[in-house]
Every structure is written in C-alpha cells, then in structure tokens.
Structure 1
Amino acid sequence: MTRAWERAGPDRRIRFAVTAATVAVVAEVALTAAGLVAGLPPLLVWLPAVAGVVMAAQACLFAAADTHGALRRFWRRLAAGLAVIALAGCSQAVDVATAPQGVLPPMSQRTLLTYVAAVLVLALAVLRLPTGSRHWRHRLTEAQDIAIVMVAAAVAAAQYLRSFTDVSSGVPASWLNLGMLAIGAAGLIAVVKSMVAGHGLLARPVLWYGAAAGALGPLSVPMMSVLKPWPHLNGSAVVLPAAGLLFCLAVREQIRAAPAPRRSSGNLAKVGVRRDSYVPLVATTLTTGLLLTVYLRTGDLPPILLGGAAVLMMMVVARQAVALSGQAALLGRLAHQASHDTLTGLPNRRAFTAAIEDRVADGEDLTVLLLDINAFGAINDGLGAASGDALLRAYGERLLATAGAGALVARLGSDEFGLLAPAGRAGTLPEQVLTATRLPLEINGHDLLMETAIGVATAAAPQTGDVFRRAEVALRAASAAGGHRVVCYDTLLDQQSGTHARLAAELRHALDDGEFHLLYQPIIDLGSGHVTSVESLIRWQRADGRVVSPADFIPVAEETGLIVELGAWVIDTASAQAADWHDRHGPHAPKVAVNVSARQLLDPALPRTVAAALARHSLPPHRLTVELTETAVFGGGPALATVRALAELGVAIALDDFGTGHSSLSLLRTCPVDVLKVDKSFIDGLNGAPEQEAIAVALSGIATSLHLRTVAEGVETAAQADRLRDLGYHHAQGFHFSRPIPADAVDALLPAAEPAALR
C-alpha cells in the first residue's frame, strides 16, 4: 500500500485516505449496531478502529512530506501521536483477548498510559505550532481564553469525578479517572489553541478538525458506561475510527490551503484583536448546560459547581472588557487609515477636501496650494522605489516645517501635495514654500534638487469645489510652464483651460486631415560650409491658413498622449524624406534627425515604429538620428531601455540641449550617445569673458575624449561661428546659417549648389 501511496498524486492520495477512513467509520458503526442485537467476536470491533488511526497517521506523513519548516514538524508530531494511539488500540485489543471473566470493558494500566502518552504528543504538536500575532493585547486575550477554558474544564472535571467512578475496568477507578482527565485536558488544549490561532501557519479548518478529534478522547468513558451491557463492544473502539477520519479531513484542508494558507486581515493582526473568539460563548454555554443537567437530575447544585460558575462568569466579563478595548483601538486605527496616507502619514485627499468643507462651513477665508514634483517619475525609476518613497516622506516633512501652525499639509496623489492655510498667508506662503522646496533633499546618499510646480487659489468663503478646482487649474498652468514656479489662479486661466481642451480635440482632426508638415533646419560643417544633416521640426497649419505654434500644441499632445501617434508620423515622414535625399544625392545626402519626447520613450513600441519606418523606405539606419533630452532618460528604467533598443537598430542617438539637464556627465556612461548638441545658452557667452567660454571649451574636450560628435546650437552670428571653429567645434546650427526650411529648399543647399555662407 505504501508504494501505491507514493505513486499517487497529492489529490488522489488524500482522497484515498479520506475514503479509507470513512469506510472504517462506517464499518465500526455497522459492527456496533449489529453488536447491540447479536453477539460478536470481541476483537472484531478493533479492526476498523486501528485501521482508521493507521490511515490517519499515514495521511499526516504525506502532509509532512508536502510541507517544510514548522509545518513539517507539526505533521510529523501528529503522525507520531497517532501511531502511539494505534499502538494503544492494539494493546487494548490484547487486553480484551486476555481479560479475565467479569472485567468489562477491560483496560490495563499499560494501555491507559499509552493512550495518555499519545494524546500528550498530539497536544504538544499543536502547542508548538506558531500562531503569528505577538501583540500584547492578543497575548492577553489568548491567556484569558485559556484560563476560561481551564475553569470550565475544572467544573466539568468535578462533575466527572462524581459521575463515572463506577465504570468497571482492568485498572483501579482512580487511575482510569486520572487518565481520562489527562486525555480530556490535552483535548481542551487543542480546542483552545484552535480557537485562538487566527494568524498562524495553518488554515483554521485544519485546527478545528484536529481539535474535534482531540475532544473525542474523553467520550470513550461515557461510551464504556453506555455499552456496559454488551461485553463484546468497546467505547474506545467506537471513538477511534471517527478520530482517524477527522485527522484525514484536516490533512485534506491542508492540501486545499496550499501553497499559501488563509490568514486573517493584516490590519487586525497589527492591532492585536482577532476577528472573532468563540471561547467565552462556548465555555459559558457548556457550563450552563452542565449546571442545568445536574440540577434537573439531582434537584441540587454542589457548592463547587456554583463557585466555579461564578468565577467563570467574572473571567468572561473581564475577557470581554479587553476585547471591547481592542475593538475601540481597531476602530481608531481604521479611521486613521481611512483619512491618512500610509507612506507619509499625512492626511489624504479625502481628509484634505473634508477640511476645506469644514472651514467653508465655519465661514473662513481660504488659501489652497497644490504642489506637484516635476520629473518625480524619472527619479523614482532611476534611484529605485525605496529612494522615491524616502523622497516623498522628506518632501512632506519639509512642507510641514514650512507651513507652520494653522496650516494643513496633505498628500493627494503619487507626487502631488496639498496645503491649506488661512487666506491671510496668501501673499507670503507660496514664495516660502517655493524657496524651501528649492533646497536639496539628501536621500540615501544623494542630494536631490526638486523642481516644484505650485498652483494657488484664494477665496473668501468659497464653494468647496470652486477653490479646489481653481487651484487645480493653476497647478496645470504651472506644470505646463515647466521649471520651479508658482501660478496664482485668475479668470484668464479658465479661458486658457478651455482653449487647451479645444486644442486637444482639434489635434486629432488635424492629424487625420494632414494639417501637419515638416521643416528642416540644416546642420553645417564649419570647415567646408556644407550641409551634413538636418533637424526635422513639426509645424501645424490649419485648413484656414492659421499657424499654431509648437509651443502651444506640443504640450497638449504630450498631456493627451497623442504625441505617440504624432511622433510616429514625424518618424515616418522624415525617414521617407531622408530616403529620397539618399537616393538622389548618395553620400552627399544629409542625415535626418527627429526629436523624441520623454512620453514617446516610455512607449515600448517606439523601436518597432522606427524599425518599420526604416524598412518601409529602405533607409540605412545610420542616416537617421534620434534626438532626446537628458531629462527624458535621466531616471533610467524603461526610457533608457528604449534608447538602447534604438541604438541596437543602428540609428544615431543625440542628446539635445546638453549641459542643462540632470547629471549630464554620468549620463554619458549609461546612455549610448553619438552626438552632443551643446545648448544655446553656452554659445551666447562666446567672445565674452574667458569664464563664459569655459563650459563650451570643456564640453568640446569631453566629447573629443569620448569620441562623440558635437553640434553647437543657436549660432546667430558669424563671430560665434568663427569662435566655435577656433575652439575645435566642427558642426553647428542656428539662424546664422538657416532658419527651418521646407525639404525642397534644403536641396538648394546641398553640394550641387554653392556651400552655405559662413558670413
């Protein structure tokens, strides 16, 4: 049978065990029923009894093989205890076979001690199983539960000693009584452990089945009394198969609960209060039933029973008082969690808006500040979620220190905070907050400079939705403007917000109707004056002839997500033009650069979009350059992975506005860069003091050392072009050479025509 057991799968094995134990119970019931009306061989009832226990021990060994750690030790101890019970059953069967006439039901001292040892092993297995929660209130209520059950058990034991001292046996009545009391105490320990174990390793039904099995032990004594007229039957034999079946059912629950046992609510465990406890109810109910039974049978209640019942009731009252205090603590914690942010401990959006409502109801004037941390996502991706969380906590603490008394600081969302203060502070508070948030925060060894957009709305006893909505409108304006700034609400912002919404709707139609086109700004070789590459720039001209500035529609496209589709159109159109120039001008054709936004870099499909455009137009990858800003890839993560995927296609990568973003030099080690486009702000300082040229010189030297190509942006004079050439720059672009022009105008600047003037 062992080999078949090992070959079977977990589900089949446990079904087989439960089925076999059920057959043993049915057989025992059938034999007992038959023995009530006819004689049977005395040993016959012991066959299903021992078989049921053996099957339960085998099931526990299977559970041990399927678990590890404390659970494996638990199931092994249960298997050992059941094996000893099976041994005790065999010993009692021997007692039956060898008992002298007149001693019924026979039980030797050896058998009784074996039963006691077995049940103590089972109780030890349950006691050694961890319960999980270590909160002081949980430990206190657990101790109270145990004490309540022990008092109830003492009351029951007193009555037991009075009622069952006349059961005949092979051992003295005192030995039998003490042994049965020990078995009953062990069973009670298992029951209490099952009731108080709500957060342990086992699912609750596992312990309940085990507790029920442990409680069957003391039932064998009254069964002996009941079956005394039938010497061929035995109370222990009747009880054992049922105990074996209950243990098999416990193993089945263990299999169903794997791999993760069900646990109670983590919030409840933190407070230390269990979801429910039936110990007081069960103990008082059973004790009351015992008192009522004794009174109905004898017409009197012994003083020991009355005294025990009184002590029990007082203990139950104390237990419930502790439980009620725990429930109050739980409710307070849940109320705090419902109104506060778990990360920072600050009030959340619900509490913030409720505070506005309360102050409005009191007729107070309000100042509402909404704050948003710029580029928080890049920092969170680049330094990790732990650093991002630490940043949010430190940022909230700084706001609290800056806001002072009388102000409410809340975390409203991922990187959005709110500040509510009296209207009298409207003039100074925004600038104070702006100054405070400009200072660096030290997070895990990094000094981080944060740019904060702040929207401010002030109103005298406003409508709740109005003041909050106005602050949101102001915040959107501050975020769209970029940088570290405060925007106060005025009615013009509402008009701009409406314009923004209309522009977002019109963008979709413009893309469908072909209202966009590309212009190209040449990049010049400073030595030869030839055009080596061009930067493609998108323009929007409406059907009615009106031109919409990129400064107006690009932020809207970014916010709505349409920038991804718009960017794909730019990549395809620029690639088609680059392929046309390559076909007509060969090696003298200019390379074409396209600008890619931070939002596009977060699109995992961008490399496929570029690869498809290259394949569609048969454009060699090195003829296309992807321009991006340092800020877009500073945080690493998905954006940097996208850039690396683009580089693997063979396209060139250019860093635009180099020198003005985050951590520029460290970025050169991680990002596969080919071209540095030096920002116009450094070019404007040429031909001035030596200090003004120092950065331009340093950037050129760094690029040369790293074998990168440099392009000077924003060249507006011949003097700047000459100075750049003297400083070692080879490429430049700007209005001095050409403004953005159509594709056919670029043809006029290619080598077939005169080189572009350097004057």
Structure 2
Amino acid sequence: MRIGQRERAMLPRASLVRVLREPLPAVLGVLAVFSVGWFALNFPRPLAPPFVGWLPLPISFALAALASGRVARTAALAAPARSFWRRLGIALGLISAALLSNAHDALAGPDAPTQNTGPLTIALYLCGILVALWALLRLPGAARSRKARLTMGLDSGVVLLAAGLLTSYFTMQSAPQLAAVTGSDWWALTVITLAFVTVLAAVKLALAGTGPLDFRSLSVLGMAGLVGALGGALMPLVQSKPYLHAGQVSVPVAAFLAVAAAELQRRAATDPMPRSRPQRPFSLLPYAAIAVTDVLLLVSTRSASPGIRVVVAGAIALTALVVVRQVMAFYDNANLLARLDASMLEMSRHEQRFRSLVQNSSDVITINDVDGNYVYISPSVEAILGISVHQWLGRPVRDFVHPDDQEALVEMSHRLRERSGATATCQVRMRHADGNWRWAEVVSTNRLDDPTIRGIVSNTRDITETRRFQDELAHQATHDALTLLANRTLFTEEASGALDAGSGVALALIDLDDFKTINDRLGHAMGDAVLVAVAGRLRECIRPGDSVARLGGDEFAVLLRGVSPEEADRIAGQIITTLGTPVNVEGHDLLVQASVGLVDGEPGMGASELLRRADVAMYAAKEQGRSRCVRYTADMDLRAIEYAQLGAELRRAVGSGELFLMYQPVVTLPAGEVSAVEALVRWRHPERGLVPPAEFVPVAERNGTIVQLGAWVLREACRQMAAWQRTYGDAAPSRVGVNVSARQLREPGFAQTVADVLRETGLRPEDLLVEITETAVFDGGPALEAVHALRDLGVSVALDDFGTGHSSLGLLRTCPVDVLKVDKSFVDGVTGTIEQAAIATSLAHIAQALRLRAVAEGVETAAQARRLYQLGYRLAQGFHFARPLSPEDVGSRLSARVERGQESDSWDPPALAS
C-alpha cells in the first residue's frame, strides 16, 4: 500500500522535472525568478528604472498564450480540450495586451511613475478573465447521475456562497483602499472576477471533474489564477511605492504556472500517465469554504460584544463537530462501499468462473423440473451430441434416451425422489444428431427443495470411448487374442453355467499332437497360423449353442450342450476327421492331428472337475497312440493316481539306490563276438518289486524326471565301462550305449554334462555311444545342435528304433549319426516273404551306402541271425545272443573270455547256431 502511494507521489515530481527541461517553461522560470528578485531588491528603495520591472510581465503572458496555442494544435488531444486551450490562449493574449496597457499607464501616464490604471487596461483585464471564464464553463464534465448532480450542486453552492461572502467582505473593507491605490473602482471588480474564476476552477477540479483535461494541468491552472488574484489584492502593500507594482511578483509566476499547465496537458496527450485515484470519499472544497466562512465570521466579529463572540464561537464549534461527524460517516460509507464492491467483484468473478466452467466444460450440466422436462442445459451439449440447446428445452429426458435404457432411467428417477438431496447414477445411451447412440454417464441430485433451482440437477458425461475400451478389455480378459476364441476363464464360467442348468453336457478336450515340431521347424508365426486354422475348423464342427475355447498353447476345448453320449461321440469323431485334413499355411500343407478326451457332465459336477476328467481322457488317448478320441472312465483316475504316485516314488528312487543298470551285449555276425553293450535301466521297488521300464519310463517322460534319471544312467554306465576297461583291458566291450531322451537333448548344456561325466569317470569319448530316436531330432532345433556338439566331443551317435518314427531319409544327411539300429518290428519279418523282408533289406543297403554301421535289434532265433547275415548285417543284439545281464554277469563272461584267450572270443552258443 505504501509503495503504491509513494509511486503515485513520485509521478507529479517526475512530470514537473520533465516540464522544467523544456525550453519555454525554462524561459518563463528564469523570467519569474528575475522579476521576483528585481521586486525584492527594489522594495526598500529604487535601484533601477521602473520599466525594467514591467518588461517581463507582457512577455510572460505572451509566451503563455503561445504555449496554449501550441497545445491547441496537438492532434492527440480531444476536440473539447483543444477548444479549451485555444480559448485560454485568447484570454492569455488579452491579458498580455492588458499588461502592456498597464505598463504604459504606469510609466507614461500622468504623474508617472504611478500605480493608476486606465479604463482600457481594466477593460482588457476583464475581457481576458471573462474569456478564460467562458473557456472553463464550456469545458464538459463527467457524466453523473441525478443524485450525484444534486450533491455536486449543493457542494458548489456552499463554495460559491462562501466565496460571495468573502468577496462581499473584501468589497466593503478593501475595495475603497484598492481604488485609491489604482485610481479606479474597476480594479476591485477585476480582482473579484479573477478570484471567482479561480474558485470556479477549483469547483470544476474538485467537484465536476476535469472532463477531457488532464487533472494535473487544470490544478496548475487554478494555482495560476489564485496567484493572479492574490497579486491584484496585494496592491495596497505597495501604495507608498509608485515605482513598484504587485503584478511584478504575481504575473510572471502565474504565467510560468500557465505554461507548465500547457506542457503537462501536451505531455498527457502524447504520453498518457496513469491517473491516481482519489484517496478521499468526499471533496475538501466545501469544507474549506465553510472553514473560510468561519474565519471570516471570527474576523468580522472581533470587535463585537463578548456575548456575540461566544455565540459565534459556539456556532463554529458546532459546525466543526457536524463536519467531523459527516466526515466520519463518509469514511464509514466508503469502507462499506469498498467491502460491498469487493464482495460484488468476488461474486462477479465466481459467477464468471462458474459460467466459464459450465459453458466450456466437456460435461453437460442440466436441470429438469418435477416432470422430467429440461429447463436448462449447458451449451456443451451441442459439442457432445450435436443437438442445439433449444431442441432440448421443454422436452422430457426419455425423448433422447435409447428405448432399452428407459427402465434404468425410471429406476434412477425413483431413487432420486425418495428424499431431498438424494444422488443417483446410471449409464444410458443417448441419441446423437447423426442418428447414432452415445453412451453417457448421468449423475443426478435432487434439488427440488432448493428455491433457487427447484429441479433435478444432472451432470452428463460422454463415456462412449470409455465403454468401448472397457468392452475391449473385458473381451481381451475373456478371449484368446490370437484365435479370438473364449479363453480358460470364460470357458470355465460357461461350463459352470451349463452344468448348473441341467444334464446333457459333454466336454471334448483337444490337444494337437507334435505341435512343437511345427513351431521349432517352421517358426512361431507358422505355428500361430496353424492355431488360427484349427480354431476355424473347430467352429465348423460345433452346433449352435455349443462353445469352443482355446485353453492355452495347443489345447482346445469344446463344450456341448443338450447332447447325448452318442451325439458327443459323433462330434468328437468329426473333430478328429476335420483336423486330420492337411492345413495349407503360406504354401505349406501341414498335417495336424489331435488327441481328444471326451467326458460327460454329471449332476453336482463342477467345471474344474469336468476339465480334469477330460484331461485324464486326453492323456489316455495320447498313450494309446494319439490321433484318437478316448472317453473318460472311472478306472482312468485310478491309473492317473497310480501314475502320479509312481512318478513321486520315481523321484525318490533316483537318489535312494533303487535303480540299477542291466547291459545287453551287441555281437558281431557270424561269429557272435562281443562288440559293445547297451545300458538298460531297471527299478527294484521296495514294495512293488521289479517295475518294468515300460511302466516307469513314460511316467518319467511326463513329469520331467527323465532328465535326472538319464543323467544318473549316463554317469553309472560310463563309470561301469571305465571299470571294465581297467579290469579287463582289451577284453572289455569296445563301447557302451546309453539311451538319451528327447527331453534330455533339449536341456541347455547337455553336451557339457556329457563332457563332465566323461572327465569324472575317465572314459574316452569314443568309448561312449549315445542312442537317440528319430523323433528327438526330427524337428531340429536345440536337440540337433546337442547332437552336433556330442560329435564334436568325439562321442558316437546311434539312431535307435530306426524306421518307426518320422522315417525321413533326409534326417540321415542332417543328423551326424554313426549307427542305425533297425527296429525289431522289421527284424521279425526277415525270414518271411520278400515283401516282409524288404524294409530290413533296404535299411541294410542304405547303411552300407552311407557308410554307417547297422545293428539289427530283437534277434530271437538262429534263422533270423542267418538271414540278417545274408542281407549284409554284421552287428545284432537280442535274446538269441543274450538277455540283459547284470554288471557281475558281464564281468564273469569277460573273465572267462580273458581265460580262453583272444583266439576264442565268441559267446556260447555260436551266433548262427540253431
């Protein structure tokens, strides 16, 4: 606050400094200083000729007239202001002429030097003052109300009455003396007129306002008039000094002030300065007039009786108290008005803010009457729904809401009417101008009891995009992104609903056979395309009302509703047939086969149990040869439980010493000498006894124990082979064969595991034969990379059960193998017809052409041995030569072989003996 006042106080001073730097005000200032100084020096006695004192007077007012004319030509100034300054310039010119005439009267008139004033001089003075008065009266004031004009009139009357009283007193007391000094009664009239002009300027400035004039400029002009009036009234002071004139002090100063006022006006027009606001809630001028009147009253009664002076003093004191009380009331009213203005301004700001929020909000603000008709709606409705405001007013809400959402709207209306101030929310579709429907969230509040509203206030927001995103998220949460089928979550819900609804429910669980080979050989993009094709075919197989879902990976499920067991079997068979047709994906004809587990729903069964039983049946289908459908039976659970228990016991058996190895010799033909041995794992269960490999090996494959089991077999076989080599030397078998599963080959670092085992046991890499199946490496990938790594170590590789897998001859070029082991199913037919022996014969020729060693497996008779020898086979194994032997039995035979010497190293009986 104080900083603002200080800044406003500095503005006039800065303006005055700039004015004094101008040439014309500077000259007038020099003349004023010279004139005042000359008057002061000559007051005691004359020191210079009188004309020196008179010379600055007409020059000063001539320059003032010039300055006024200059301002009147300022284009930036308003027309009324230019007229005022033009008329004031005329008045100043007349006064300048009057000063010349006055100088002539004083210096060249009778009895010169003298203070007498001639008629022409008085006339020129009066004309100049009257023109100035006319210019001031023609100046327009600020627009005011009737009450303000009445107040201004009363205040002006107070001032003018006080001025009249003072003038009257001056006329009666000083006019005769002034007439005696100047030699004319008109001089008193001139002073009185000039005083009235000054008073009028003060009234204009304080009460009526400056209109187009600059506030500071008119203030300085008033001071100039006051200086001129005082100079004229002080003439009796120099009555005894005819060579002096009071105007020699007042006229240059008044002229300087007039020029300063003109310069301030010009600067305000060309470079407007901020006007300081009035600091008082009232004008001091009427109270100053009262004070002057009180002083005049005291002066006029100074010689009255004591009683009269007491009455006068009391009246003055009473007037002062009334004035003080009124001033306090003015300030109280001003404070009240200031607070009221602040409150109104704040209310206006709040109203503007609220209006801006409502008009620019993306939400629609509405008010509905008790009948539901719109009585107000914000303009944002046009941006959201494209319907103009006037089309809504007077119409009910239901005209714009989707018919299917009318019930939700009625329910919300009932909740709102339960009590005053109740709030309710609903989501409805509202019609857009283009004919579409937009989702809207409506939040309504009951304001029927509010007299300023008397309606239901609602905030409506467009949530179309939000609903779309929610629907998309809900769809993504319940559907598979690739095939767009229902996912496990949604399928479980549908299955639960179908089971709760009644009987006639069946579930077909579908798992694609060997789908991993497609991903690994052709890439995941091709695999995804196959899954999409399978999903399309499953849709074709189901009936209306049935459901199909992708549960994950390559596993699908079909939920059949209202179906008989026979119909379910027919649909399952149709699924297998449809999926069995080759799928053409990006130019590739791919054969997709599936195993299907089928189960019927039962009363009280849950969705999880239905899926579990279907899963059990599906695994049974895979165990039975794949690409088939198996219906769930109760004994499958017993077998599944047995498998689970067997798997848990197998994990324990790996580290508890229950496993052991048997070794089946591989002999040469025709002599039957030992070439190698194949390690075969066996399990002696503490309660079950000897568990066949056909039972526990598939369990190990399924639960992943095959990795631990295979590692143990590899380490134990290598350890045993190294022990035989140390004990029997050259009589020991040339190598030991170890079966490795596809799961082991896909394990990261399998080749490093083999290298570590060889280093630990001290066995040379060339003494180890790793036996793998065609299926393990047919799809390439990590398994084939592991085989190459084994070959780099120096380990030999054999394809076990060759011919029973994918039977791809190209595999013999891509997979680095050393031995082909022909499956027993081809060996059994070698003694039959040519057609039965054709495969065994072809495989022998292929091995010979590729420079591979061929081993015939499962030889059980001498006839088979002789025929195989005739076909070109030089290695064989089977019960005809020896059953799997324990390490001790193998050691005994190796000891006998050492005792007999190298000349007889065949097994008894001879290989080709009958």
Q: TM-score, normalised by structure 2?
A: 0.48
- Is it true that 1:288 corresponds to 2:356 in the alignment? yes
Equivalent of residue 601 in structure 1, options 745, 765, 768:
745
Residue in structure 2 matched with residue 755 of structure 1 by the alignment: 906
Residue in structure 2 matched with residue 530 of structure 1 by the alignment: 673
Give the residue type in structure 1 aligned to 2:749.
A
Residue in structure 2 matched with residue 575 of structure 1 by the alignment: 718
Residue in structure 1 matched with residue 591 of structure 2 by the alignment: 449
Whole-angstrom distance in 1 between the partners of 2:781 and 2:815: 11
Residue in structure 2 matched with residue 388 of structure 1 by the alignment: 527
Q: Residue 615 of structure 1: CA displacement? A: 0.9
The 5 Å alignment of 1:39-438 reads 288=356, 313-318=381-386, 324-421=463-560, 422-424=562-564, 425-438=567-580
Q: Residue 716 of structure 1: CA displacement? A: 1.9
1:365 touches 1:461 (CA, 8 Å); kept in 2? no
Secondary structure of the structure 2 residue equivalent to 1:636: coil
Cα 1:314–1:496 change in 2 (3 A) is: same
Residue in structure 2 matched with residue 499 of structure 1 by the alignment: 642
Residue in structure 2 matched with residue 458 of structure 1 by the alignment: 600
Residue in structure 2 matched with residue 629 of structure 1 by the alignment: 773
Residue in structure 2 matched with residue 20 of structure 1 by the alignment: none
Give the residue type in structure 1 aligned to 2:643.
H
Cα 1:441–1:729 change in 2 (3 A) is: farther
1:715 touches 1:733 (CA, 8 Å); kept in 2? yes
Secondary structure of the structure 1 residue equivalent to 2:601: strand
Residue in structure 2 matched with residue 739 of structure 1 by the alignment: 883
Whole-angstrom distance in 2 between the partners of 1:626 and 1:516: 20
Secondary structure of the structure 2 residue equivalent to 1:426: helix
Whole-angstrom distance in 1 between the partners of 2:489 and 2:788: 42
Structure having the higher Rg: 2
Q: Residue 325 of structure 1: CA displacement? A: 3.7
Whole-angstrom distance in 2 between the partners of 1:688 and 1:348: 54
Residue in structure 2 matched with residue 666 of structure 1 by the alignment: 810
Q: Residue 312 of structure 1: CA displacement? A: 6.0
Q: Residue 572 of structure 1: CA displacement? A: 0.7
Cα 1:336–1:289 change in 2 (3 A) is: closer
2:358 touches 2:378 (CA, 8 Å); kept in 1? no
Q: Residue 519 of structure 1: CA displacement? A: 0.4
Q: Residue 709 of structure 1: CA displacement? A: 1.4
Cα 1:544–1:663 change in 2 (3 A) is: closer
1:645-704 CA-to-partner distances (Å, cap 9, x unmatched) read 222111111111112212522222222211111122222221323222222222222222
Cα 1:363–1:651 change in 2 (3 A) is: same
- Is it true that 1:649 corresponds to 2:717 in the alignment? no
RMSD: 3.3
Cα 1:228–1:382 change in 2 (3 A) is: farther
Equivalent of residue 684 in structure 1, options 828, 832, 844:
828
Equivalent of residue 707 in structure 1, options 851, 864, 884:
851
Whole-angstrom distance in 2 between the partners of 1:411 and 1:437: 15
Cα 1:289–1:450 change in 2 (3 A) is: closer
1:678 touches 1:712 (CA, 8 Å); kept in 2? yes
1:531 touches 1:749 (CA, 8 Å); kept in 2? no
Whole-angstrom distance in 1 between the partners of 2:669 and 2:815: 27
1:378 touches 1:632 (CA, 8 Å); kept in 2? no
1:245-289 CA-to-partner distances (Å, cap 9, x unmatched) read xxxxxxxxxxxxxxxxxxxxxxxxxxxxxxxxxxxxxxx979826
1:356-402 CA-to-partner distances (Å, cap 9, x unmatched) read 11212221321111121222223211221111112212222222223
Residue in structure 2 matched with residue 726 of structure 1 by the alignment: 870
1:378 touches 1:633 (CA, 8 Å); kept in 2? no
Q: TM-score, normalised by structure 1?
A: 0.58
Moved more, 588-597 or 456-465: 456-465
The answer for unaligned runs of 5 or more in structure 2 is 1-5, 12-73, 77-270, 275-351, 361-376, 388-429, 433-437, 439-461
2:359 touches 2:378 (CA, 8 Å); kept in 1? no
1:557-577 CA-to-partner distances (Å, cap 9, x unmatched) read 222222211111101110011
Residue in structure 1 matched with residue 391 of structure 2 by the alignment: none
Whole-angstrom distance in 2 between the partners of 1:38 and 1:415: 89
Give the residue type in structure 1 aligned to 2:656.
D
1:423 touches 1:458 (CA, 8 Å); kept in 2? no
1:634 touches 1:663 (CA, 8 Å); kept in 2? no
Whole-angstrom distance in 1 between the partners of 2:639 and 2:627: 20
The answer for unaligned runs of 5 or more in structure 1 is 1-33, 40-100, 104-226, 231-283, 293-308
Give the residue type in structure 2 aligned to 1:355.
E
Whole-angstrom distance in 2 between the partners of 1:460 and 1:395: 29
Q: Residue 478 of structure 1: CA displacement? A: 2.7
Q: Residue 605 of structure 1: CA displacement? A: 3.1
Q: Residue 460 of structure 1: CA displacement? A: 3.8
Q: Residue 314 of structure 1: CA displacement? A: 1.4
Residue in structure 1 matched with residue 610 of structure 2 by the alignment: 467
2:488 touches 2:549 (CA, 8 Å); kept in 1? yes
Give the residue type in structure 2 aligned to 1:735.
F
1:5-47 CA-to-partner distances (Å, cap 9, x unmatched) read xxxxxxxxxxxxxxxxxxxxxxxxxxxxx999999xxxxxxxx
Give the residue type in structure 2 aligned to 1:705.
A
Residue in structure 2 matched with residue 251 of structure 1 by the alignment: none
Whole-angstrom distance in 1 between the partners of 2:656 and 2:782: 33
Whole-angstrom distance in 1 between the partners of 2:502 and 2:533: 33
Moved more, 512-521 or 455-464: 455-464
2:503 touches 2:601 (CA, 8 Å); kept in 1? no
1:630 touches 1:656 (CA, 8 Å); kept in 2? yes
Q: Residue 748 of structure 1: CA displacement? A: 4.9
1:655 touches 1:673 (CA, 8 Å); kept in 2? yes
Compare relative contact order (CA 8 Å, sep 6+) and give the higher one, 1 or 2: 1
